[in-house]
Structure 1
Amino acid sequence: MYLYHFGIRELPFTLTPNTSYYFGLPSHKEAIQVLSTALMSGEGFIKVTGEVGAGKTLICRKLLNELPDGFVTAYIPNPYLSPAELRRSVAAELNVDLPEGTDTQEFTQLIQQRLVEIHKQHKNAVLIIDEAQALPDESIEALRLMTNLETESQKLLQVVLFGQPELDEKLRQPKLRQLLQRITFSYKLKLMDADQLYQYVRHRMAVAGYRIEGLFDEACCELLHKASGGTPRIVNVLCHKSLMLAYGEGVQKITPQHVKAAIDDTEAAIPINKKKRWAWVPTSLFAAASVLALAITSIHMNFDFLGSGWIK
């Protein structure tokens, strides 16, 4: 698309959490520090919450990548599971073979055997659940019962919950108060301020291979902050569209007009123009960018045919 135009190796603002683009925002660093401290101290339940797009999954993956060898991890990214499905998922992650028809008591025995085995190896078992707000109430209770497995001095299974603010509301239900009381460490992610956003955008462009200063200036980043509220995911969407618009115009610098057009074209963005004066721009410029991309692709394809001998 616009890689060659800006001289970068890869798209810098994709929505897929990529730890190679981890910036180390203060809030993210604090969350990882809290998680590391809690896990090293052997705490049972740890909770990290944040708004949609705040970077929870990125932190989750970074934690998985950086846990030392003394931890055996089980990771569940999509926890909308019944208690039986949750037990099977945990067993599979811990390499426990559950025969068909295994009931709760048999599951508990097999899991306990595996956790004791891990403990004898002087390791800690950690269950990490992303999007934990999606856990049904019955599955949360099943999860609590799993953590009852312990030695005289230590829990055999630690649990880290990543979730949206709805997770806090769910856990405040009276019927889930037993699990709420077991959460010893928790952290709430903060969104970026304007200066952090400016540094964040520069960082991602640099990781992608951009070597020139000032592509997104402070005025552009101020608009990005107003429209995103400091949410990294929305910033990524707006930056990607702004780059597309600049590419469509054939220019090498992002202007406030590009950012405003991207904002008007993004439903998740906070509107900054009451009358949306730029509403016509995205359609025309995105179309131009698409036509130009197709033309460049066509040229490359023709060169490929010439080089391969199909056209003489």
Structure 2
Amino acid sequence: MKDWASNSHLLLWCCCWWWSGKANKTVLETVSSKRTTLFPRFLSRNVYTRGALFGSQHLSTSTLVAQVCCGDRVGRLFFPNNFSYQRTLRRAMAWLSRGRNQAELVKALKENGLIKTERVEKTLLTVDRGYFCKYRPYEDSPQPIGWNATISAPHMHVTCLELLNEHLKPGSKVLDIGSGSGYLTACMGVMVRPKGLVVGIEHIPGLARQSIENIEKSQKDLLDEGVVRIVVGDGRKGYPEEAPFDAIHVGAAAGTAPRVLLDQLAPGGRMLIPEGTMEQELVQYDKAEDGTISKRHITFVRYVPLCSPEQQIRGI
């Protein structure tokens, strides 16, 4: 009887795994078109939270399945804490947005509703992530680039480019703080050329040199034309030599936005910065023509802290 029960359990698990594989195409189409199906009764809360459908204790895939099967309202009911809910859905996106090359990654990001404008899509097709990331460059997840730094997940790059799209016009002046691998800096350089300027500021010299090498492999003309400039410095102080900036992107989390950065934002400009410590959120600051500043919450995120080079290298 025990063997029969064990075999039955294994058979049931295999059937569920087979079903999930057959359903992948439907899941992708459903998520991309934002439709939901009507069979929540097949998915209990226990299965939803434990990931039992996929034989996993992780939440990412089971959350995605519940999101598709039960809809956003049910998903938020199971995860009443907004931070946990959004964090889990972001983890699920790594299962969806991936490819064997840049074109396939961009296609997946577009099908999943992350890429919204043709201009951002063309930019991402122009700058190949493979030149900036040694490990799994075409998966939607952050990857290490040395010195306790990471290159952000593609969906975060897309989010920032879409939010800054109207401020990344030809001739615009941009500051990218914590430029890291140089990938987002290069993307913004493509969008502001000709006659624009993107200053990537990085506080670790070795990482700055590496980012220049990456850009030389991918978009050397951006450096030759002076559209992209990588400098070594303390990003917490901004870059007053070229201020004010039409757009500022901060690639590390601060407790609150440094006032000096808001001062270096041009009237009509926009800044994106992660704020918080344990629970972080991506915040958008807009400066009106009269100098008044408005603040808008975008989404919950997880970034390395905006700190000194010594603290970053020691992993503090």
TM-score bin, normalised by smaller chain = under 0.3
> Greater strand share, 1 or 2?
2
Report the TM-score, using the length of structure 2 for normalisation.
0.27
Q: Which has the larger radius of gyration?
A: 1
Report the TM-score, using the length of structure 1 for normalisation.
0.27
